[in-house]
Structure 1
Amino acid sequence: MSEEPRSKAEDALVPSYRSSAAARMVNIPVATLRVWERRYQVVGPTQTPSGQRLYSSQDVRRLVLIKQLVNRGHGIGMLARMDTAALQDLMDEADQTESVLNGAVAPVERVRSDEAGRHHESIRVLLVGKDAALRWQDHLHSFKDDGVLVVKAIDGSPASELSLRGVVADLVLADLPALHMETVDWLVRLQRLVGARQILTVYGFASSQVTGALHARGAILHRAPVAAPELMQSLMDAVRGWRSVARGLRHVPDPAPSPRFDSALLAGLVQSMPRVACECPQHLAHLVTLLGQFESYSADCESREPADVALHAYLYRVAGHARALMEEALITVAQAEGIPVPDKAQATA
């Protein structure tokens, strides 16, 4: 009796992909995939009797969503606790925000500086707190030539939060008398709702646990009272950081090519080049190894450090391309010596 053909939904649950294939489809190193599983239990792959992990199409889809959301600044710890449907909803929300940023609300609005004659990307600020607008709106307005623009001020009540539908901001500036753990979740929700890059908080009282939780999410904290110049300096320093990393990411193509060699292949290739009088092959192999290690380290930081996710994404890309360049240099030296160059794909075939 022949078996009924599986549906697409059933096929998606069949464990079919090894760790290396799953990591390649998600565009992360295998080392990062293992870190995500060990620390956060992001997926539960099937294990064969030999210990080989196998991933289904549904596992890969979930990993892709998590990687995309981590790249947009969401914490891996939070994402790991969400089911795949919730991850997709969050991704859809992020896509909608991005589409607004790219068109509907003129997010790349430029503000001309009368003094310098230069153009600045606008820095849209959401003010949060009963007295936030009273304390900070005039100070923010004085930086209008630098692109600072208050897009909305809310007192923090549920009704005022409902008024944020369609509002897009780059920074949430909250002025609150006290911070609690529920405040952390609330501020992060507001940040996500308006698509903000960062939270800047002025507060009266908070425990070290609460301030630590906000620091872990990349928030900038100032204990009240804080002088306006100090607060504005913090804001502009944050903006310079965003712009610097954004410029770097625009100039580094993504993704970098996958590694051509593992440690055994590298060692074998160097040993096969005895005619090279200098030690260049050894030095190139050493650089390939170090850059590969830094590439994995940056990917790990990208998943563990939501405060600096864009910076580590940039470092991960740069390290990957530098590693690929050094691999090409080593291959060129080997070919000049007439030595065939194997790669990992050939070695595992």
Structure 2
Amino acid sequence: MNNTVDDPEVVPRYRIGAVARMANLPVGTLRIWERRYGVVAPPTTQSGHRLYSEADVRRVAMIKGLVDRGYSIGSIATLQTGELERLAFMHVDKTPVSPLTEGRPGLRLRIVGTALAQTIRQHLHAMQAELASEPKVFENMTAAFTERMNQPADVLIIHLPSLHADDVERVLALSASTHAENIVVVYSFAAANTINLLERVGVRTIREPLDQASIAHMMSDIQRKTGQAATQPDMREPAPQRHYSDETLMAMAHASTTVACECPKHLASIIMQLSAFEQYSVSCASRTPADALLHVYLANISGRARAMFEHALLRLEREERWALEKSLTAR
């Protein structure tokens, strides 16, 4: 992205205390990180105060999050922002999601951009739209990145008046941290290839001005998709844990049954292969956040498929009344 002095991403505006609060980090630790590791290099005013930009805040917050996950500060301090985002994205499937609390029916919204939030609220009020709760609003992407969110959202709406190709990775990273099923980017200016890239990864784009008709269409479409998804597994939740170990599966594959076929053996083989692919997807190297999101999805899908086959094998085991312990003892 070509930043200019007018770009709010790079304009110095925050003092160290504010940055420390947003990143949930002691001021003393931030000073040490700067002095010893060079995590950021904010300019200093004539009065001697360091002023940090939104990009600095986001970088500090990502480093803090990775350190909390076990990375040493020395190993990640000098990484580029894109590399930090890729690392953070690799852990998205490990981010805990709290169960949904019972409440009013309707969509759960998170909105990035206070001006956009005001416009959307006005239109939703006029439409008498049904929401589960008042939309959660963030001033900008930096503020959204720095807040840990354990409750999933149905819709994440992001205001990016000037949309660049580099913003795609930031949008994907933020959507992962909010566990949002639907992502909408509202923009004023953007290149056609950037819009195409977002749409290819499932992000809806709407060009300003945002009127009531476009909001109504967006909400109706999302509600329809959300209703359809209600009958499908929630991909924001991790796949079930394994029921059978490889050793147990091998024993069951060779156990004596009344079934005159090799179905138990084939089921055991399929489960082991799915488990192996699940682990492979988790550890597979990802070049971009989009790659990481795909591998998280593949691991989740294979884990759920493995759980379904385990359920089938469990039913077969019960109906055949296998005496696995005897079989293992005899071997």
TM-score, length-scaled by structure 1: 0.46
Instruction: Name the structure with the higher strand share.
Output: 1
TM-score, length-scaled by structure 2: 0.48
Instruction: Name the structure with the higher helix share.
Output: 1
